[in-house]
Structure 1
Amino acid sequence: MTLDVVDLSRLQFAMTALYHFLFVPLTLGLSVLLAIMETVYVMTGRRIWRQMTKFWGTLFGINFVLGVATGLVMEFQFGMNWSYYSHYVGDIFGAPLAIEGLMAFFLEATFVGLFFFGWDKLSRVGHLVATWAVALGSNFSALWILVANGWMQNPVGSAFNAQTMRMEVTDFFAVITNPVAQAKFVHTVSAGYVTASVFVLGVSAWYVLKGRHIEIAKRSMTVAASFGLAASLSVVVLGDESGYLTTEHQKMKLAAMESMWETEPAPAAFTVIGFPNQAERETHFAVRIPWVLGLIATRSLDTVVPGITELVGHAKTRIESGIIAFDALQKIRAAGSDAAIAPDVRQAFEEHGTDLGYALLLKRYVDDPRTATPEQIEKAAWDTVPNVPTLFWAFRLMVGLGFAFIALMSVFFFLSARRMLDRYRPLLWIAVLAIPLPWVAAELGWVVAEFGRQPWIIEGVLPTAAGVSSLGAATVLTTIVGFALLYTVLILIEMMLMIRAIRKGPEPDEDPDAELIPAHLVAAE
């Protein structure tokens, strides 16, 4: 198979994004866990909580540095590999990224330094404030990134300017309060909390199995199980909200996730398992639960969930409308000034302009969408269907892992409440083996969100194929190989540093304020 520059550019961005997202969830979750542990230390004065905070902080620092390094590359790619996309939506997309860099990143990076080097220079409360600022900075960073990404999924607060050929902001408040962006933010952050909780739980379980640092390990497991249980439950609840918004704003993505080829009477059934065949446009050996999809997706018994075939029909209608908008746009550009634009041309663009992006889907088959044949329009309409088997299985594996995390955290929460964390070695081994699973779930979530949006780089506005730079395929392929090698080295370095730090374990703590700890607290410890 010959890959063109569009496929290669997508592959490169997917690769760098997936690599980067290996670091993000742990940074989000560990930052909050560190703040919780240090809060206990400041409130109780028990030195073991300071020791815990410093140990897990070392692992956080390793992950944070490599996360920053991989994240910078992604932002540069917008200008290098996706130059027309950057030109088309730079006024909107660039603003959240700039705020993220100026506000969240610098806030986070500044207080990270205070966290590592301020233990003996700041008061206990002052250092605690710095730790919480790190956590807030990490989450603010995720917020602005997801505001930008959420706008790509649901482009609100903006309008197309026919004179400049660019999307422009009409309501920045609508951009930052975009319901899709807000749902993605809380869902992504909660997933990061689960990732960190499973990581802390698994590493601590390994210490218990090895008979090392038992007191620190048990306390860490208690914090991780409590925080992780709340986070894993919230992931399911917030994921449901995300699915509901998908029903409103990305109907094709939902239909593809459920492999729902035909529209069913409300409420629709949920396909638990099956084998979608995109070529035959049907799902083989489907096991279905009546009503469940309708209840989850619409929260009602009488709202219809449209199937893929019906949505393709809607796309065909919008492509035909988009051709009218494209024709009007060419006449507007040829006119040269607002005064020279004929009223009927202006009216045609106003009525059909929101479908302009659908006409651009025809660029895959013909240079001028106005000359497209009915067969080409039909093909372009079916191009709006993403890869159904990939979405179907990615979604189910992600959800299955989400419920597995709830079960894992529930068991260890119960054991911690009963003070029985070290009694069942098989359960401890399960916790250790579960360490990589949150990253698998997070990457699957990214696939569902981004792969399910295809063929759009901006939903309904700009096709992915129209957003690439004018680069040669060989150039992009060369950078893919270079990034793959570099990122593999970085992953290996992080794993080596993490494993070395975990094997070494927490450092003995010498608290200069040890004599200030009340005697009754020392006795209680």
Structure 2
Amino acid sequence: MDPAVVDLSRLQFALTALYHFLFVPLTLGLSFMLVIMESIYVMTKRPIWRTITRFWGTLFGINFVLGVATGITMEFQFGMNWSYYSHYVGDIFGAPLAIEGLMAFFLEATFVGLMFFGWDKLSRVGHLFVTFMVALGTNLSALWILVANGWMQNPIGAAFNTDTMRMEVESFREVLFNPVAQAKFVHTVSAGYVIAAAFVLGVSAFYLLKGKYPGVAKRSMTVAAAFGLASSLSVVVLGDESGYALTDNQKMKLAALEAMWETEPAPAGLAAFGIPSMADRKTHYEVKIPYVLGLIATRSLDKPVEGIFELVAKAEDRIESGVIAYGAVEALKVNPNDMAARATFEQHRRDLGYGLLLKRHIADPRQASPELIKQTAWDVVPPVPVMFWAFRVMAGIGFLMILLFATAFVLVTLRKHQTKWFLVLAVAAIPLPWIAAEMGWVLAEVGRQPWAVEGVLPTFLGASSLTVPQLLISIAVFTLLYGALAVVEVGLILKTIKRGPYALHDPAPDGSPEPEAAVA
């Protein structure tokens, strides 16, 4: 496989995934914020809460459409750009995607129209139920996508079948309850809730700065402050759980994001700052916070955390074992009844993927020299500087969000919604959680390299047999199309915000910007 084809295929998927993930978190969070706002309307029967719900529902709808459109494009890429990946692990990876389409997406599609057009046709409780079902469907979509992605990070419940030469499901229960998938789901949806809360908080602050729609803005800010504080705290707690999951399942990712070249003796410290270098394989100017990494990664103060050098040495042993497994597979291709080859494969099956890493350098892994095996063992190390800084940007913004929402919660509790310095800060902070979410995606996906499926299938083997010109043309088309869609999305959102919450719903009978009856 031409390395340029693999790199361009990765670039195309990364661009479309990062773009798609701009819409998904806001959809996840806004859906449940709509449920909260409409629940208040149902309980109080105050018209202003209906207006609030419909306004934020309109913004949800704009974002929802773009999220669906970009998500469908991504799924097609599995068959078009990653055809061998789809062939090799499609039995496992395809099942959660199919369930997501049949259960979660259809659930959203069934109820989303009722949510937008059923305000005057359904009872208050009936419409609240519809809104809740949309929120449930949206979050179930995330669950099944992250079950699929979690399996790529920690491929349990499946095994290589020497008869079909593919990975196949052994236990769907293990795939579904994969600890990595569960940790990723709760962490990802909590991040989405933070994004939505920051968006509502920022737009509400903008209205208050402009002196517009104070009744809507203050109430929206109150909901955003409480929802955002709970969500930002849960992101940190659940991020800690994700770190603990890495200790058992993705030790190299943990070592890379800490730029930890040597095994860290107990109690392991967390690097607060450093300049990691892949060239000399060390971290310069490192500053560590004692004990923290040990508590996060091992839940103890007496266990070491393995470093990159030790993990590379283990990878070298696994590559040697994988070469034996590869040889057994080749023998079984010739004679499926070769019991000796089958027994050899069973002994070394867990390392087959490591043997396949050699195919990047040599056609037949069995011909690899000891020097090539040593060199290939370093392929399992992801780009350490990218990992190191992506994690620190993500974590730093996470703590800033806690501070932001804690301040907001105190101010709205004291009914000081119009504190000007905070309103300016809230507007400026709108992009921050999106940046953190994108860095989280980079951390998860770049940190898995060189694997498409951790320890099972190297990324370079999963790509389709495309040409460089085909990929360059498709990347250019995607960039232009998605750029145009971004302009449309942002334009529609800004136009809706500018027109205000009373532009389409519950207009003031006297033309005033905010009806007194609604504010009361």
Give the TM-score taking structure 1 as reference length: 0.96
1:344 CA displacement: 2.4
Q: Deviations over 1:264-311 (max 9, x none)?
A: 221211110000001100000011122221111100122221000000
1:494 to 485, 489, 502: 489
In 1, Cα distance between the equivalents of 2:92 and 2:136?
24
In 2, Cα distance between the equivalents of 1:345 and 1:381?
25
C-alpha contact 2:150 2:181 (8 A) present in aligned 1: yes
**Using a 3 Å threshold, how does the CA distance of structure 1 residues 510 and 501 change in structure 2: closer, same or farther?**
closer
In 2, Cα distance between the equivalents of 1:229 and 1:151?
31
Aligned residues: 509
Q: Deviations over 1:22-80 (max 9, x none)?
A: 00000000000011000000000000000000000010000000110000000000000
The residue aligned with 1:518 is none
The residue aligned with 2:405 is 409
In 1, Cα distance between the equivalents of 2:398 and 2:127?
34
The residue aligned with 1:427 is 422
| Mapping for residues 359-378 of structure 1, pairs under 5 Å | 359-378=355-374
The residue aligned with 1:88 is 88
Q: Deviations over 1:228-280 (max 9, x none)?
A: 00000000000000000011100000000000000122121111000000110
SS of match in other structure, 2:380: coil
1:347 CA displacement: 1.3
In 2, Cα distance between the equivalents of 1:129 and 1:296?
39
SS of match in other structure, 2:264: coil
In 2, Cα distance between the equivalents of 1:384 and 1:154?
15
The residue aligned with 1:150 is 150
Overall identity of the aligned pairs, in %: 66
1:16 CA displacement: 0.2
- Tell me, yes or no, if structure 1 residue 16 matches structure 2 residue 16: yes
C-alpha contact 2:449 2:459 (8 A) present in aligned 1: yes
| Mapping for residues 469-480 of structure 1, pairs under 5 Å | 469-480=464-475
In 2, Cα distance between the equivalents of 1:212 and 1:160?
62
| Mapping for residues 50-69 of structure 1, pairs under 5 Å | 50-69=50-69
- Write the letter of the residue equivalent to 1:361: L
1:452 to 447, 450, 464: 447
The residue aligned with 1:26 is 26
The residue aligned with 1:213 is 213
Q: Deviations over 1:495-525 (max 9, x none)?
A: 00000000000126449xxxxxxxxxx8993
In 2, Cα distance between the equivalents of 1:523 and 1:442?
36
- Structure 2 unaligned runs (5+)? 508-516
- Write the letter of the residue equivalent to 1:246: L
- Write the letter of the residue equivalent to 2:436: A
- Write the letter of the residue equivalent to 2:456: V
RMSD after superposition: 1.3
In 1, Cα distance between the equivalents of 2:204 and 2:353?
52
SS of match in other structure, 1:164: coil
SS of match in other structure, 1:265: coil
- Write the letter of the residue equivalent to 2:137: G
The residue aligned with 2:40 is 40
- Tell me, yes or no, if structure 1 residue 347 matches structure 2 residue 337: no
- Tell me, yes or no, if structure 1 residue 382 matches structure 2 residue 378: yes
Q: Deviations over 1:378-424 (max 9, x none)?
A: 111000000000000000010000000000000010000000011x2
| Mapping for residues 14-413 of structure 1, pairs under 5 Å | 14-335=14-335, 337=336, 340-341=337-338, 343-413=339-409
- Write the letter of the residue equivalent to 2:130: A
In 1, Cα distance between the equivalents of 2:463 and 2:315?
23
In 2, Cα distance between the equivalents of 1:374 and 1:485?
47
The residue aligned with 2:513 is none
In 2, Cα distance between the equivalents of 1:271 and 1:476?
39
SS of match in other structure, 2:167: strand
In 1, Cα distance between the equivalents of 2:228 and 2:170?
40
1:3 CA displacement: 6.2
Give the TM-score taking structure 2 as reference length: 0.96
- Write the letter of the residue equivalent to 1:382: W
In 2, Cα distance between the equivalents of 1:6 and 1:428?
46
1:478 CA displacement: 1.1
Structure 1 segments (4+ residues) deviating >6 Å? none
- Write the letter of the residue equivalent to 1:347: A
Q: Deviations over 1:111-148 (max 9, x none)?
A: 11001000000111110000000100000000000000
